[in-house]
Structure 1
Amino acid sequence: MVTLVLGLLSLSGLCAFLALLLEAAHAVFADYGPCRISINGGAKELSVKGGGRLLGTLMDQGIFIPSACGGRGSCGLCKVRVLEGGGPLLPTETPYMNAQEVADGTRLSCQVRVRTDLVIQIPEAFFLIREFRARVVGLKPLTPFIKEVHLKLLDPPEIVFKPGQFIQFQVPEYEGSPEPVYRAYSIASPARLKNEIKLVITRVERGVATTYIHTLLKEGDEVRINGPYGDFYLRHSDREMIMIGTGSGLAPLMSILHHMADEKIDRPCTLYFGVKSRQDLFYQEEIHELGAKLSRFRYVPVLSQPLPEDRWDGETGFVTDAVARDVTDGSRMEAYLCGNPLMINAAVKLLMERGVTEDRIFFDKFG
């Protein structure tokens, strides 16, 4: 067994090395010259240097396409329609496409090379996404592995977003990354504070972006972000709401709760927040303050692995276990989920079994 594992690791390492070598060779030897990109029937025409990936090429031109993974091909968000010039659909794209999208020419822009002239179609809303310069005015540890990053916007000085949406944070080139990278983080702060935002960022082992943010980013540093992005936001209805979050997935739910308190949207709402132990709970005081403003709000923290010193007498197990114990009939409910993909998948399955229809389950996966 050990020999097999070592063999697989060696093979994976070799494949990664070859992929890196091919990428380097492509960057050095491939010269496709200038290419034209026609967008939305000629509404916008770009002249660009060929050879780069469509996602980054558009970003260089000030057109920002959503990408939670920073262009690594693992989130499936950066979809555009490529009507001409994109080449064949790649195996790395097919897991993220349904039959209709394949037929419509939908592609992942991070996987499409600009090798020739392109004709593409993107949602008009993408033209409204902007890049911002911001200054770090606060860095606060919330748990041993989660940090709050407080940014003040410099130029433009204000951002308008829907509570629940996310931005992309640019991590500059540093020792751990040979080039700038982008990662998506949900906004945790109220939408009424247009000149500042707060992000909640979990450190990922060997994560290029989170390593930089947790160990090198300092107060006073100037950073770049772009956005806002996403279809995860509060819908207008009078249905009872269920919110389910894990870890830093609490961030967009906090922004939604702030909005409800600010706008006096006093709908029945229960927030289930799942973490391992008491030390992983955060924003507890803020949640209770919001609860005081929302008369029909209920908060249910859930610990999956409480420690003896926690002296915990609340809900335990997976966060979905607590939901399953509480919810018997979800036919008149609306759900907002944010957290790791395993939780999202389990919660969607559970809620649909309880009668919450798929069109009333909204979620963001962190992975």
Structure 2
Amino acid sequence: MGTIIITVGAISGITGILAFLLTLAKNTIGNYGEVIININDDEDHVVDGGTTLLSALIDEKIFIPSACGGKGSCGYCKVKVNEGAGPILPTELGYLTPEDKKENVRLSCQVKVKNDFKIEIPEELFNVQEYEGKVSKIVDLTPTIKHLTFDLKEGEIDFKAGQYVQLRAPEYKGNDEEVYRAYSIASSPSKRDQLELIIGYVEEGIATTYVHHHLEEDEEVLFNGPYGDFFYQDTDREMVMVAIGTGMAPILSILYHMVENNINRKATFYFGARYLEDLFFVEELQEIEKKLPNFKFIPSLSRAKEDDNWTGEIGRVTDAIEKYMESGENKEAYLCGSPRMIDSTVELLKEKGMQEELIFYDKFE
């Protein structure tokens, strides 16, 4: 019995020492005190050290694009760091070009704030704002995709058709971290007091789990934006639009903009889905066809079932493009979807003669 008591006491003592050392490390080794972030040789921001540069800037209400929410998997949160960042980390290498490295560009989500920084960011990011919204409607478009409408509580958001915002997913049961995720705006730029998003469910995705299993109508949300250099270009070239799944969102925004401004350019929208149940907004797009006589919507199913009685295109969106588009000359493209779809479509369009600089795209994981 005495041996057991001694053993238990020893284990308890070791556990207590380890807990003390962890607490000490957290409060000393990881505590860098207050540091100064100088932006564009102009503004100084005093922040608490120890966090990432991305998080520190968010705390200062300076919002840097980050489609992955700071996980180091999108490469969007690039910032020019002239002083304070230290050596480039292995987690950054896959996202930095040789030119980025020469220009001191870093991934702000990977760089820890341990001392004073000097950084440069584009002036337009100072126009990015945080907005409070209220969920006015949630509609199930497919078994895994929801259409959400938010009413802004105050002010208006000014964005270009095709851009995106970052929606905040707060802590909830099963998730103890607050994250931001990027979603393309599906509504018309003319609706400045309202915002629509199309969000698909990703298993174990923090933000999509929040949206699909926790968020309800009448709840309040936070988002910031707008972001992105993927948006409608005002030219007279024929338009080739390509999307799969929730990638329809920015294309819808562009089409709504065209309808409202009576822009009747020749345009074709190739949309891909796996099954018939994965198609959505078909009636809305058919109505747009009536309003824009030079617009054509071509949906395609890659895994059509016999009992679907599907009479439309079968195969991937690239199959439909191959079938209906003869040449890419004097055309420009707007693509939104997975990296695999984007890459294969870009190659096909280039083979058909489309200039690469006229292929605009927005990739998402």
TM-score between the two structures when normalised by the length of structure 1: 0.91
Equivalences for 1:284-363 in 2 at 5 Å?
284-363=282-361
| Deviation at residue 201 of structure 1 after TM alignment | 0.3
Deviation per residue, 1:195-246 (Å, 9 max, x gap):
0011000000111111111011011111100000001101111101000000
Structure 1 segments of 4+ aligned residues over 6 angstroms from their partners: none
Q: CA RMSD in A?
A: 1.4
Q: 1:27 to 1:173 in 2, by over 3 A?
A: farther
Deviation per residue, 1:248-300 (Å, 9 max, x gap):
00000000000011111111100000001111111111111111111100110
SS in 2 for 1:142: strand
Identical pairs, percent = 48
Match in the other structure for 2:158:
160
| Deviation at residue 328 of structure 1 after TM alignment | 2.6
SS in 2 for 1:92: helix
- 8 Å contact kept, 1:176–1:208: no
SS in 1 for 2:172: coil
Deviation per residue, 1:63-120 (Å, 9 max, x gap):
0000100000000000110000111111111111111111000001101111000000
Query: Does 2:91 correspond to 1:92?
Result: yes
- Give the aligned residue type for 2:146: K
| Deviation at residue 177 of structure 1 after TM alignment | 1.6
Question: For 1:264, which of 241, 262, 265 is the aligned residue?
Answer: 262
TM-score between the two structures when normalised by the length of structure 2: 0.92
Equivalences for 1:193-272 in 2 at 5 Å?
193-272=191-270
Query: Does 2:285 correspond to 1:281?
Result: no
- Give the aligned residue type for 2:31: D
Deviation per residue, 1:113-167 (Å, 9 max, x gap):
1100000000000000000010001110000100011100013x21110010000
In structure 2, C-alpha distance between the alignment counterparts of 1:159 and 1:212, rounded to whole Å: 24
In structure 2, C-alpha distance between the alignment counterparts of 1:148 and 1:313, rounded to whole Å: 26
- Give the aligned residue type for 2:290: A
- 8 Å contact kept, 1:302–1:318: yes
In structure 1, C-alpha distance between the alignment counterparts of 2:315 and 2:25, rounded to whole Å: 50
In structure 1, C-alpha distance between the alignment counterparts of 2:249 and 2:107, rounded to whole Å: 27
| Deviation at residue 45 of structure 1 after TM alignment | 1.0
In structure 2, C-alpha distance between the alignment counterparts of 1:25 and 1:199, rounded to whole Å: 43
- 8 Å contact kept, 1:36–1:45: yes
Q: Unaligned stretches of 5+ in structure 1?
A: 1-21
Query: Does 2:37 correspond to 1:37?
Result: yes
In structure 2, C-alpha distance between the alignment counterparts of 1:27 and 1:311, rounded to whole Å: 65
SS in 2 for 1:193: coil
In structure 2, C-alpha distance between the alignment counterparts of 1:100 and 1:287, rounded to whole Å: 42
Equivalences for 1:71-220 in 2 at 5 Å?
71-155=70-154, 157-220=155-218
Q: Unaligned stretches of 5+ in structure 2?
A: 1-21
- 8 Å contact kept, 1:82–1:107: yes
How many residue pairs match? The answer is 343
SS in 1 for 2:263: coil
Q: 1:110 to 1:300 in 2, by over 3 A?
A: same
Match in the other structure for 2:13:
none
Q: 1:249 to 1:25 in 2, by over 3 A?
A: farther
| Deviation at residue 26 of structure 1 after TM alignment | 5.8
- Give the aligned residue type for 1:154: K
| Deviation at residue 29 of structure 1 after TM alignment | 4.3
